[in-house]
């Protein structure tokens, strides 16, 4: 066998050893990548029922909607103008969701509720963030107009 072939087999053998040693870490990395890509391909989804687009509401008033994910919903939060996110209450019944999405986890209790965070009067962007148990995230956005709160003084 010529020297060139011996060098080729030696290099090829070393490459096979290196690749064999990498398989475990590659497969773990591939599993993480697959889970992340699954979350990206199948992100959570939902709907903000209340408040409606461009509706005038007061700080502290309730908001409602529903959220689903094929891995289950881990959390739902609400914020205004990228301010601090407040957790929504999950696990509420919401008409029609179970019938429309019977194979999704907790579709019979997909409803959520939240309070409109306190902010100054004027136009604001409501952001409801749904996080799936697989780490996927979706933002639902709605423009709202916060009305001025009028506190009556002693009369």
My answer on whether 54 and 37 are in the same domain is no
What is the share, in percent, of the chain residues with pLDDT greater than 70? 70
User: Could you give the C-alpha distances from 100 to 65, 75, 94, 112, in angstroms and in order?
Assistant: 15, 21, 11, 17
Q: Which two tokens stand for residue 71?
A: 């891995």
My answer on whether 26 and 67 are in the same domain is no
Residue 133 belongs to a domain: yes
My answer on whether 49 and 111 are in the same domain is yes
Number of domains into which the chain is organized: 2
Write the CATH number for 138: 2.60.40.650
Give the least confident one: 68-72, 109-113, 137-141, 146-150: 146-150
Contacts of 90 (CB under 8 A, 6+ apart): 67, 73, 75, 76, 109, 111, 112
pTM of the predicted model as reported, rounded to 2 decimal places: 0.72
Residue 129 belongs to a domain: yes
Residue 154 belongs to a domain: no
Query: Kindly report the CA angle at 68 between 88 and 129, in degrees rounded to 5?
Result: 45
pLDDT of residue 15 exceeding 50, the answer is: no
Q: Which two tokens stand for residue 124?
A: 């604001």
Instruction: Give the model confidence (pLDDT) of 74-122 as tens digits.
Output: 999 999 998 999 999 999 999 999 999 999 999 999 999 999 998 999 9
């Amino acid at each position: 066998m010529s020297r060139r072939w011996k060098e080729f087999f030696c290099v090829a053998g070393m490459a096979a050893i290196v690749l064999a040693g990498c398989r475990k870490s590659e497969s773990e990395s591939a599993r993480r990548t697959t889970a992340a890509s699954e979350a990206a391909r199948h992100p959570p989804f939902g709907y903000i029922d209340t408040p409606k687009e461009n509706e005038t509401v007061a700080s502290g008033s309730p908001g409602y909607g529903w959220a689903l994910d094929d891995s289950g919903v881990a959390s739902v939060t609400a914020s205004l103008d990228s301010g601090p996110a407040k957790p929504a209450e999950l696990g509420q019944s919401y008409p029609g969701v179970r019938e429309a999405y019977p194979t999704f986890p907790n579709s019979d209790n997909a409803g959520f509720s939240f309070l409109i965070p306190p902010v100054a009067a004027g136009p604001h962007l409501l952001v409801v963030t749904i996080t799936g148990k697989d780490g996927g995230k979706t933002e639902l956005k709605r423009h709202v107009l916060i009305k001025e709160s009028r506190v009556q003084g002693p009369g």
